[in-house]
Amino acid sequence: MDGWTEQLVTCAEFERSEPGAARNPGHHERLSDMSAAQTSPPTRWEQQVVGEKWDFYANRFEKMIADGTDLEGEARLVDALAPRQAAVLDGGCGTGRITAALQRMGHRAIGVDKDAGLIDIAKQRYLGVPYLNRDLLLLDGDVLTAVGAPAEFDIIVLPGNVMVYLAPGTEREVLRVLTGLLKPAGRLIAGFATDRDYSPASFLADADALDLQVEHQFGTWDLRPFENASDWTVAVLRRPDPDGQEQAPAATRWTPASQWHSDPEQHL
Ligand SMILES: C[S@@+](CC[C@H](N)C(=O)[O-])C[C@H]1O[C@@H](n2cnc3c(N)ncnc32)[C@H](O)[C@@H]1O
């Protein structure tokens, strides 16, 4: 098991533990200041990850960074699928690790999360990387352009169980909002545990209702197969391209040698 896969297991172990009883007043004061918290339903994250449990989650990344744990596996998959210098939205970015990795890989990435405390950590840890404290339900092109971000995206990524921590019953609406922020043929990639209230089957039904095409379903971010017993799923959905013009970038296509002409660089 590589360090990154190990991290996912650690994350799953954490998330399966019972919510801590103690509250973190600082965290909740920050949340009560947020207009987003006042105008949108509480997420499962806000309901379940409070007090000591929130502190544990927030602090563990510092230790993993210090230990040299690989925290960027999800970003590598996004990078493989994305055009160069792609516009990428990291939805439910938490402490910002994937946004920062994507930015470093040359993409125009922005991280968005409803948890003001986690966004504070992200901004302090990854200076110069754009993060926005906002409920995904309340996101639109105007909000994004007002902070200098793209209004539409090549890829929207939801790593680390975001789908199963949304407010109950809002999952399809969040997907609808995010689909509206995808370019034609843009992709939405989500990874989450299969043993929660919101199941992979519900996710695929919501995708179908929104006309999102299921391109792939893996069992891990390093592309192991999805099976009935998989405890994790990574789904790659694509927004239809009405003009049907989308095709793989030239660098990923191969011209048969029989069709090469005197300027082989054009075909290589
Ligand atoms: C397990 S954390 C994952 C964080 C990050 N994606 C990562 O993998 O490091 C789940 C995140 O989803 C966020 N979240 C849940 N519902 C949300 C919503 N409606 N809008 C924005 N963020 C949301 C939570 O605030 C939390 O930070």
Which atom in ligand 1 lies closest to the alpha carbon of residue 97? 9
Q: Ligand 1 centre and the CA of 92: distance in Å?
A: 3
What average pLDDT does this structure show over 188-214?
A: 98
pLDDT tens per residue across span 9-44 = 333 333 433 222 222 333 333 333 344 445 899 999
DSSP code string of the chain = --HHHHHHHHHHHHHHSPPPSS--HHHHHHHHH-HHHHHSPPPHHHHHS-HHHHHHHHHHHHHHHHHT----HHHHHHHHHSPTT-EEEEET-TT-HHHHHHHHTT-EEEEEES-HHHHHHHHHHSTT--EEE--GGG--HHHHHHTT--SSEEEEEE-SSHHHHSPTT-HHHHHHHHHHTEEEEEEEEEEEESSSSS-HHHHHHHHHHTT-EEEEEESSTT-PBP-TT-SEEEEEEE---TT------GGG----GGG--S-GGGT-
Q: What CATH number did the domain enclosing 68 receive?
A: 3.40.50.150
117 lines ligand 1 (CB under 6 A): no
45 lines ligand 1 (CB under 6 A): yes
Provide the number of structural domains found in the chain: 1
Q: Provide the residue range defining the domain that includes 76.
A: 3-266
Give the residue with greater pLDDT, 164 vs 21. Answer: 164
Say whether pLDDT at 233 is over 70. Answer: yes
130 lines ligand 1 (CB under 6 A): no
Give this prediction's pTM: 0.84
